[in-house]
Chains A and B, each alone.
Chain A
Amino acid sequence: MRREIPMIVAFVAGVIIILEFFVPALRDVAAGIQNWYLVVVAFAILVGAFNLLRMNYMKIRHRRADWPYSIILIIGLFGMGLTGLIGGIDADTTFDWLFNYFMFPMSSTMFALLAFFVASAAYRAFRARTVDATLLLAAAFIVMLGQVPLGSFWVPSWWPFFLSPAWLKDRIMEIGNTAGQRAILIGASLGVVSTSLRILLGIERSYLGEE
Chain B
Amino acid sequence: MLNHAIDIAFGLLGLAVVFTLIRLALGPDMLDRVLALDTLYVNSAAMLVLYGLELGTGRYYEAALLIAMLGFVTTVVLSKYITRGDVIE
Q: Do A and B come from one complex?
A: no
